[in-house]
Structure 1
Amino acid sequence: MKIRDWDRNLKVRLFGEALMNISFWMFFPFLAIYFADEFGKDKAGLLLVFSQIFSVIANLMGGYCADKFGRKRMMVLSAIGQGLSFLAFAAASSPWLDSPWIGFLSFSIAGIFGSLYWPASQAMVADVVKEKDRSHVFAIFYTSINIAVVIGPIIGAIFYAKHRFELLLITGMIGILLGLLLAKWTSETASLKTSADDSVDGKWYYFLLNQLKDYSLIAKDKTFLLFIVAGVLAGQTFMQLDLLIPVYMKDLVKDQTMFSFGNWSFRVGGEQAFGIVLAENGFLVALLTVSVTRWMNRWNERNVFIISSIVYAVAIILFSQTVWIWGIILAMAVFTFAELMGAGIQQNFVSKIAPEHMRGQYFAAASLRFTISRTIAPLTIPMTVWIGYNWTFIVLFLLALLSAAIYWLMFATYEKQAIHKES
């Protein structure tokens, strides 16, 4: 399915969300540094955990709101709300006002609006795209995000340190522009789903309670429970990409020469170096996802899960042992390879172990890996104060190895269950 054949809703979204993602990634990777500098590392990590709790609740409610109020309405309100939040953040970082507390509150509210936007945007794709073409459409949106992860941090590495106010101002204006584009050029798609109204009967808290009750299935399926636990442990490693790693680089990676030709040299400090390696991550993901996934499909599934966690552990140790920019670039390449190893097999494994009549619930519960990881991962920032960088990296290294061990146990349990079913 070519882009020219897409529904107009999706064409508008692809353009508008690309602009929003690029502007967002111009400053987002550096926010952990900003909050750590303003509040101290111990307090910053706890505040980020606190802000994630509200985003988690909003994400749980996002599906309900998309069905109850419509895809278009939720996306328009969320985009404008996010834009206004970033404008408030910009005001709190302006030459006339310097208030990190207002900035943190604005960032938290923007995160809530972002969590409400996501389920509606996914539901809209399901509404207007035939099932056989959805994976292709989702892949294009995913690729556009990774292109933004390449472009945004490079721009941020150049301008963030001295122009945070301007970057936040641009992002806020683009968020509002996205909302206006969606309001004018898109149409409501929820009406195309004849059963949409059936899913929204009752009060919102009934929906939330029922969704939480669905998650109780993880306690009944030992294989799936181990999958969630291992995923949360592994997540403590890859979630550090925009938490511990930028703070570490800002503190310890000093100004150094990256390239030199004759009398000319290109020098980078910690923040600029982080922007470069983050762009490297996005570039490698966009370039290699398909080829690495095809390669991994030739491997034994159990080995891919286990080795991916081990490679994450190796990457973490590499990060902790160097402050040289090219050493960090190598560490990021290893880190990205671990990310790509698991990119194509996780969802497939869930579909394989889930009973057909409960597949939707299993996929919903599987997202707990990221929900829980995202909530507790910021604790690594205060850990650097309590136990230091070296021990914090060692803890992450051990958690990655523990996730590998649990993946091994998961497959042993899965094989036993398969044998039991056959007998």
Structure 2
Amino acid sequence: MGKRVWDWDHNLKVRLAGEALYNMLFWMYFPFITVYFSEALGSGTAGIMMSLPPVFSMFGSLLGGMLTDRWGRRPVMLLGASVQTVMFACFAVSPSPWMDYAAFIGLGLGGAVYRPASSAMVADLVPAEQLRQVFATFMTANNVGAVLGPALGSFLFFHYRQELLWTCTLVLLLYLLAIYFMVKETMPHAAEGPKEPAAISRKVLEQWRGYGFIFRDKIFLVYLMAGIFALVPIMQLDLYLPVYVIHHVPAQTLLAWNGASLTLSGTDIFGWLVGFNGLLFVLFILPVTRWFAKWRERNVFILSSLLSGFGTFFVGLHTNIWYLFAVTVIFTFGEMVRSPAAQSFISRYAPAHARGQYLGADSLQNTVGKFLAPMTVVLSGWLPPLAIFTVILGFALVSIGLYFQLFRLYGEKQAAVAGA
């Protein structure tokens, strides 16, 4: 398979187009959903409500991974896309915020079921040495939506919500039909499992027991722990950084010309930093992935934790807007180098017969990270900003130690296999 998109397998090209369009629509409503629930039900209630979706997503990912190894990739992708299509329609016709919330939970659940099958299909089709490049291309398409979506959604979500949600429903329906008619199954024959008849309950129990085996895999557990600690600094862009920038960075002039100037408040500055972060992803994720293609995954993970940890820590050292743009480059590159390597590592490490389950369990990094990362906002009520940024840096340093341990164990396992 060539590295260029037009040389990809047909399955991947269909999915790249469909997922890119869907992600743009996703970013038109997702950033504003908390604001919507806060206005409709109160900020306290909204805060509690928004802490629950990661739990549903965790179970959705584990279920999606289990079904991916039992049913195959294509049926689970169809199931996840179908759930999302129905939930968008429910969201569009909803008469109350509580039904909106139920639909929002359903959207997250459908997406969580879909993702392990989607990643497993990539791993089925792409040679190991090209996985980083392919995953980086999917990330680029997704981040185009993350840059353009919020700008459009800030108007459409609040003024034409029903029309936006019906558009999302139609796009998901068309993508569902594209999967059904154009995407072929890719699950290796070795992963298809036995064909003898058995009770559905017994089959499900066998699959859940498979997760018990996965969580006894010491290498995988260390990988999960390292990823959780590495993600806490990366997630601060949506958590502590807005709190810090909005409350501690003074209004200042971005540009001045001919006696006129563009002055930004703390809120404006944070918006610019988020947009700059997304733009860097769109422009550089593919080149960065190529630059580090020859690097060992251990070194990529360690470099990522160093850049994201120290880059986020540096935010607390000065409030000049151009300085903040500079450190945004540092912590954004930390996230950028990590993501394709993480996806390629677990796709390659997981055995073919349990690839879906490993990819489903891999989502626990994000789930647990989302529970731990908000502690910085809680601690900010008692600690000064520099102390919070030091705690964030501490998470990154712990992840580096765990990555050294991970690849020591992984190297020993490979040596044992080679010597057997």
- The question of a shared fold, defined as TM-score above 0.5 by the shorter chain, is answered with yes
Which of 51, 54, 76 pairs up with 1:52? 54
- Cα distance in 2 between the residues matched to 1:19 and 1:321: 39
Q: Is the 8 A contact 2:254 2:264 kept in 1?
A: yes
**How far off is 1:22 after superposition?**
1.8
* TM-score, with structure 1 as normaliser: 0.75
Aligned equivalent of 2:364: 368
Change in 2 beyond 3 A, CA 1:205/1:369: farther
**How far off is 1:150 after superposition?**
2.3
Change in 2 beyond 3 A, CA 1:194/1:214: closer
Aligned equivalent of 2:63: 61
Aligned equivalent of 1:95: none
Q: Is the 8 A contact 1:146 1:286 kept in 2?
A: yes
Aligned equivalent of 2:234: 238
- Cα distance in 2 between the residues matched to 1:216 and 1:278: 40
- Cα distance in 2 between the residues matched to 1:214 and 1:315: 36
- Cα distance in 1 between the residues matched to 2:404 and 2:130: 32
Written as runs of structure 1 = structure 2, the 5 A alignment for 1:373-384 is: 373-384=369-380
- Cα distance in 2 between the residues matched to 1:240 and 1:208: 38
Change in 2 beyond 3 A, CA 1:288/1:182: closer
> Could you report, residue by residue, the CA deviation over 1:132-173 in whole angstroms, capped at 9, with x for unpaired residues?
9995765543321121122224445xx46xx64236445412
The yes-or-no answer on 1:180 pairing with 2:181 is: no
- Cα distance in 1 between the residues matched to 2:23 and 2:366: 20
- Cα distance in 2 between the residues matched to 1:359 and 1:194: 10
- Cα distance in 1 between the residues matched to 2:115 and 2:212: 20
- Cα distance in 2 between the residues matched to 1:308 and 1:144: 21
**How far off is 1:318 after superposition?**
2.2
The yes-or-no answer on 1:283 pairing with 2:279 is: yes
Change in 2 beyond 3 A, CA 1:167/1:62: farther
Q: Report the secondary structure of 2:255's partner residue.
A: strand
- Aligned-partner residue type, residue 105 of structure 2: S
The yes-or-no answer on 1:77 pairing with 2:98 is: no
Written as runs of structure 1 = structure 2, the 5 A alignment for 1:130-141 is: 135=131, 139-141=136-138
Aligned equivalent of 2:322: 326
Written as runs of structure 1 = structure 2, the 5 A alignment for 1:400-411 is: 400-411=396-407
Uncovered stretches (5+) of structure 1, i.e. residues with no partner: 93-98
- Aligned-partner residue type, residue 145 of structure 2: A
Q: Is the 8 A contact 1:63 1:120 kept in 2?
A: yes
Aligned equivalent of 2:105: 108
- Cα distance in 1 between the residues matched to 2:160 and 2:289: 35
Change in 2 beyond 3 A, CA 1:351/1:185: closer
Number of corresponding residues? 408
- Cα distance in 2 between the residues matched to 1:295 and 1:358: 31
Superposition RMSD on alpha carbons, in Å? 4.3
Written as runs of structure 1 = structure 2, the 5 A alignment for 1:22-421 is: 22-29=24-31, 31=33, 39-40=42-43, 46-63=48-65, 67=71, 70-71=75-76, 73-84=78-89, 86-87=91-92, 104-119=101-116, 121-122=118-119, 135=131, 139-155=136-152, 159=154, 164-166=157-159, 168-182=161-175, 184-188=177-181, 189=183, 202-203=199-200, 207=204, 210-211=207-208, 213-221=210-218, 223-253=219-249, 255-299=251-295, 301-350=297-346, 362-385=358-381, 387=383, 390-415=386-411
Q: Report the secondary structure of 2:50's partner residue.
A: helix
Q: Report the secondary structure of 1:226's partner residue.
A: helix
**How far off is 1:341 after superposition?**
2.9
**How far off is 1:232 after superposition?**
0.9
Q: Report the secondary structure of 1:115's partner residue.
A: helix
- Cα distance in 2 between the residues matched to 1:329 and 1:205: 55
Uncovered stretches (5+) of structure 2, i.e. residues with no partner: none
**How far off is 1:20 after superposition?**
2.9
Q: Report the secondary structure of 1:219's partner residue.
A: coil
Change in 2 beyond 3 A, CA 1:25/1:360: closer
Q: Report the secondary structure of 1:265's partner residue.
A: strand
